[in-house]
A = this chain, B = another copy of it.
């Protein structure tokens, strides 16, 4: 079983409007809501891959209930710890081909709630901790959690940013920043140098059109994208994390090719947490064929 922990989950709500005019009244044409947060996207991808996956996180208030209901509807197993604050919503207003995001601040999470979340994390083959931290939980608290989870002897994959990434990296089996997140936390634009500075056992960097880079110990692996894909880049990084979790233990060159194929297939899908499965198979095949020399 793979467990994904989403410390700061959300209900992602989409409003469709003909146009958005500040200062005016609008009748929303259609409303869509789904459970969101990077760990939930990772779990959706893992489930589509046929993996046994459990979603963990903190959920509070009516919006927390809506997250639970959506996970139930999607058939995703979950164990969400109740918290006193109301789970945040992320409202995306789609109007005139343009997206306007309104991110609620989310609940303040207390030390007891954070401890309750940790106490609920079961033993798993692989653990994933994905996304931002809620207000009230600092980078040291995340690093402590990752250290204790790693001490259980199973791979822990962390996908976060900023100080939380920097502090947790030495305790994780793998971290997966993108190029901007890595540069922001290390101060260098060279991803290999940045990856070494993070001192994680493995640093997998998503480089967009340049594919994936993994620095594992003193080895550097690179894999190009299967082909240039255009589409929805949201969720491409979550697909990389899902591939790493599903394939943990596979030799890095093969694991990285699989992650690049799944990530490109996610870009072709309309929403984060899904991927184009036919494209995924095709991309895996073309990345596995021997390179031309």
Chain A interfacial positions (CB closer than 8 Å to B): 15, 17, 20-31, 33, 61-63, 65-66, 69, 86, 91, 93, 95-96, 98-105
- Cβ–Cβ < 8 Å partners of A29 in chain B: 105
A-B contact pairs, 6 of them (CB 8 A): A22-B95, A23-B100, A25-B103, A26-B102, A31-B86, A93-B102
Chain B residue, CB-CB nearest to A20:
B22
Check if B62 sits within 8 Å of A105, measured CB to CB.
Answer: no
Q: Which of B65, B96, B102 contacts A65 (CB 8 A)?
A: B65
- Cβ–Cβ < 8 Å partners of A100 in chain B: 20-26
User: In the bound complex, what is the Cα–Cα distance between A33 and B86 (angstroms)?
Assistant: 11
User: In the bound complex, what is the Cα–Cα distance between A105 and B17 (angstroms)?
Assistant: 11
Check if A102 sits within 8 Å of B28, measured CB to CB.
Answer: yes
Chain B residue, CB-CB nearest to A70:
B62
Check if B65 sits within 8 Å of A101, measured CB to CB.
Answer: no
Chain B residue, CB-CB nearest to A95:
B22
User: In the bound complex, what is the Cα–Cα distance between A98 and B69 (angstroms)?
Assistant: 35
Check if A28 sits within 8 Å of B93, measured CB to CB.
Answer: no
- Cβ–Cβ < 8 Å partners of A62 in chain B: 62-63, 65-66, 69
Most chain B beta-carbon contacts within 10 A, residue among A17, A22, A31, A96: A22
- Cβ–Cβ < 8 Å partners of A26 in chain B: 100-103
Given contacts A29-B105, A31-B86, A62-B65, 9 further A-B contacts (CB under 8 A): A15-B104, A22-B100, A24-B101, A25-B100, A28-B104, A28-B105, A30-B105, A62-B63, A91-B102
User: In the bound complex, what is the Cα–Cα distance between A63 and B69 (angstroms)?
Assistant: 12
- Cβ–Cβ < 8 Å partners of A30 in chain B: 105
Contact status of A98 and B66, CB under 8 A, knowing A28-B103, A28-B104: no
Check if A31 sits within 8 Å of B103, measured CB to CB.
Answer: no
A12 to chain B, nearest CB (A): 13
User: In the bound complex, what is the Cα–Cα distance between A29 and B102 (angstroms)?
Assistant: 10
User: In the bound complex, what is the Cα–Cα distance between A65 and B67 (angstroms)?
Assistant: 14
Chain B residue, CB-CB nearest to A26:
B102
